[in-house]
Amino acid sequence: MTDHAVVDKVLDQMSVIALDCSIWSGARRLKPEDLVLGKGGQLPSDEVVSLGSKKLCKREVLKPFHRLRDQACRLCGREGVRFLGGYAVPDHYVSGLSLKLDQVQQDFNQEKQVFLTGYDQHIQEWVSAHPDFAEAIRSAVPDAQHVGQRFHFGYTTYKVVASPQPENLNQQVNQLGGTLREEISRDAQALFEQTFKGKNKVTRKALNPILRLRDKLHGLSFVDPGISPIVQRLDAGLSQLPNNGALEGEVLTQLMERVLLLCSVQQMERCAEGLTALEPVKVQEQEMPQAQSPTSNEIEIQEEPLKEQRVVISEETVPTATFYF
């Protein structure tokens, strides 16, 4: 099968979901005349003035919008992989994911109405909290209609079709497998640090994020033939786990082996090549690189740390274990 045919086969099985979210910053550009010294010759607090901008309301009143934006990113990233500024999602997942994004959109619009209803009160409370800077705040406050136009959440679902000169697109499609492994590695590293490192006993809730990573790999296995061997390795280990009870001892060792496999792009690549005698990994000595948090300008999906207690921590020292994948 030619390279073009391989790319077309991948594109036929997926759609792209692009998120479109804008949130009012709650600030305006700082002008020279705004820098009026307060009582005692003090400069305005960095709570109200920072980096060339003046804040017009509390940051807390905007948090619901950021939370919903992040929720949409997590939903897309759970089933899709970053592609062309959006998320490549298996076609059979699009319908269910769209229903979830529709709910996010509905919640976003409800929060927008709540915010605009209390807009004047938010501004007045901010002015009252910073009386020395009150005039500069009032002079910069836009009307509620203008602010309302700065809030928006939506998404677009579309299919990608190669053009008559598809070389650049082919390159992007061929990189999907590598991107997928990098995303899985990042999330697995965070999971290992939070749930498994230094533990000799965990609850069955620890399986949930592993299964989510497994399902993401399985759903997107068509983007790269090297993904299926990784899923098979995971399934082989997970099938040996008991159906109930806490996970400890040799059972936990096998489970951690699978997590450590996902932590390493190189190990996943070697697994994809059919290699079994890989580098040994010592659990106690394994240092996971810190997963980078996405910036506000990037839509990156990453599982939020779960609030509930995931593990039962024993005071006994965990013996060092060596795993061969």
pTM: 0.77
Average pLDDT of span 292-310: 38
Q: Do 15 and 89 form a contact (C-beta atoms < 8 A)?
A: yes
Which tops the pLDDT comparison, 27 or 307? 27
Q: Are residues 222 and 87 part of one domain?
A: no
Instruction: Note whether residue 15 is domain-resident.
Output: yes
Average pLDDT of span 194-218: 93
Q: For the chain, what is the mean pLDDT?
A: 81
Per-residue pLDDT at 272 = 80
Per-residue pLDDT at 86 = 97
- Spatial separation of the C-alpha atoms in residues 318 and 311, rounded to whole Å: 14
Q: Are residues 310 and 207 part of one domain?
A: yes
Q: Do 203 and 311 form a contact (C-beta atoms < 8 A)?
A: yes
Q: Residue 53: which pLDDT band, with cuts at 50, 70 and 90?
A: confident
What is the number of structural domains in the chain? 2
Q: Do 118 and 69 form a contact (C-beta atoms < 8 A)?
A: no
Q: Residues 89-100: pLDDT tens digits?
A: 999 999 999 999
Q: Are residues 83 and 147 part of one domain?
A: yes
Q: Are residues 276 and 250 part of one domain?
A: yes
Q: Are residues 191 and 139 part of one domain?
A: no
Enclosing domain of residue 36: 3-158
Q: Residue 134: which pLDDT band, with cuts at 50, 70 and 90?
A: confident
Q: Residue 27: which pLDDT band, with cuts at 50, 70 and 90?
A: confident
Instruction: Note whether residue 164 is domain-resident.
Output: no
Instruction: Note whether residue 49 is domain-resident.
Output: yes
Q: Do 3 and 173 form a contact (C-beta atoms < 8 A)?
A: no
25-34, 161-170, 185-194, 286-295 — which is least confidently predicted?
A: 286-295
Per-residue pLDDT at 49 = 57
Q: Are residues 187 and 301 part of one domain?
A: yes
Q: Are residues 132 and 244 part of one domain?
A: no
Which tops the pLDDT comparison, 19 or 42? 19
Q: Residues 226-284: pLDDT tens digits?
A: 999 999 999 988 888 888 888 989 899 889 989 999 999 999 998 888 754 444 444 44
Rounded to 5 degrees, what angle do the CA atoms 195, 287, 260 make? 60
279 φ, ψ to 5°? -60, 135
Q: Are residues 202 and 105 part of one domain?
A: no
Q: Are residues 88 and 212 part of one domain?
A: no
- Spatial separation of the C-alpha atoms in residues 79 and 94, rounded to whole Å: 9
